[in-house]
Amino acid sequence: MRSLLKSRKAQFFILSAVAVIGILYFLSRWLEPSTITDTSSVVLMEEPFIFNNIKEKAVETVETSKSCEELKYNLDEYKKFVENYMLKKGSLVLQYQFVAPCYDNPPTPAVVEFTLNLTTSKIKIGSIFYAGWSPS
């Protein structure tokens, strides 16, 4: 009789252990989706890419201009273009000023200071940067 009682205790212990492990396993699988951090929203934000592209192309606009007159015209056109583009997505303020004067006759190098601020419902980014132009 004693052997039968020990056998039943062992069976109950093994069955209880399997049941507890099963419950813990299914509970952990049920809670797992809430513990994973979703970083896709950061990757899907296009604002940092737009901001960096606008900044890069502003410097390129300065560097590819052939004269001071063309530089001033290109910067005005570029400013209008990017501000109109961003009207749908948020607000963009692109300001520039000539730090070093630009003259065509005699040709002198120019330095342009840009202030760029991008604001959307998700993010606000700002930067001040410089670009240089030398007559070729």
* Whether 99 contacts 25, CB under 8 Å: no
Alpha-carbon distance of 17 to 122, in angstroms, equals: 50
The string of pLDDT tens digits covering residues 12-69 is 888 888 899 999 888 888 877 766 676 776 667 788 888 999 999 999 999 888 888 8
Q: Per-domain residue ranges for the chain?
A: 2-36, 42-133
Contacts of residue 122, Cβ cutoff 8 Å, sequence gap at least 6: 45, 47
Q: Is the pTM of this model over 0.75?
A: no
> How do strand 124-133 and strand 91-100 relate by DSSP bridges?
unpaired
**Which CATH number applies to 42-133: 3.30.1300, 3.40.50, 3.30.1560, 1.10.10?**
3.30.1300
